[in-house]
Chains A and B, each alone.
Chain A
Amino acid sequence: MTDPVTTAILSRLVDAAFTALETGMAREDVLARVAELEKAGHTPDQIADDLATMRKASSAEARAK
């Protein structure tokens, strides 16, 4: 048996874990995209601009969810 308060606290802890995991996985996705751009011939300067563009796009996409 688990009381409602304990369940709520544990649920929040699990949410926090997913928060950490999601951020970590999202970062891996960004790095994978950078590797693709590098392979496609983008220069380091272009990749710096690409990262800024990705950042702006990700904000707009997150707001639309």
Chain B
Amino acid sequence: MLKRLILAATVAVALAGCGTVATLFTPPGSIPVASTLSPEAQAVQTTINEGNAALTAFNNAVGQQKVDGIITAAKRDAYLDKSDGYGELLDKAQKALRGGDILSAKTSADAVKKLITTLHREAATAARTP
């Protein structure tokens, strides 16, 4: 029994440490962007798209964790509040990009990308903390 638990835990640490964060924004280019955009704008659009995909995945996972009893409803709502806030920033970045303000869009999208990565790490750490 103990051996099985240790094996499961080892796999768990490997997956939790490497899998989630590494795949949050990869592989780039798996979501199409308009080829009519400049290369800089395409890069920003990719970041926005990947951000929206990552937040969607996060929201779905957080909802499932509540169902599985891993987190409380209050914790779920706190995570979703953060996620919604980051999503609004992505919406603003999208609006700026479509308005031609690539620099502003890039700054916002890059910042949100880091925040989302931190949010995922926070959720994984919370799940590990007794």
Kindly state the interface size class of chain A when it binds its partner: 35 or more
Complexed CA–CA distance, A20 and B64 (Å): 12
Q: Contact between A17 and B16 (Cβ–Cβ < 8 Å)?
A: yes
Q: A8-B130, A63-B76 are in contact. Are A22 and B59 (CB under 8 A)?
A: no
Q: Contact between B84 and A16 (Cβ–Cβ < 8 Å)?
A: no
Interface positions of A from 24 to 65, Cβ below 8 Å from B: 24, 26-27, 29-31, 34, 38, 43-45, 47-48, 51-52, 54-56, 58-59, 61-63, 65
Complexed CA–CA distance, A51 and B56 (Å): 8
Q: Contact between B127 and A19 (Cβ–Cβ < 8 Å)?
A: yes
Q: A27-B54, A44-B33 are in contact. Are A65 and B91 (CB under 8 A)?
A: no
Q: At the interface, yes or no: B129 with Cβ under 8 Å from chain A?
A: yes
Q: Contact between B31 and A31 (Cβ–Cβ < 8 Å)?
A: yes
Report whether over half of chain B's contact residues are helix, strand or loop; otherwise say mixed.
helix
Kindly state the interface size class of chain B when it binds its partner: 35 or more
Complexed CA–CA distance, A51 and B68 (Å): 26
Q: Contact between A48 and B128 (Cβ–Cβ < 8 Å)?
A: no
Q: Contact between A58 and B30 (Cβ–Cβ < 8 Å)?
A: no
The listed residue (B12, B23, B56) touching A24 by CB distance below 8 A is B23
Q: Who on chain A is nearest to B23 by CB?
A: A24
Which of A7, A16, A45 has most chain B Cβ within 10 Å? A16
Q: How far is the CB of A62 from chain B (nearest CB, A)?
A: 3
Question: Using a CB–CB distance below 8 Å, which chain A residues touch chain B?
Answer: 1-2, 6-10, 12-24, 26-27, 29-31, 34, 38, 43-45, 47-48, 51-52, 54-56, 58-59, 61-63, 65
7 pairs, CB–CB < 8 Å, chain A vs chain B: A15-B70, A44-B45, A47-B49, A48-B33, A48-B52, A51-B53, A62-B62
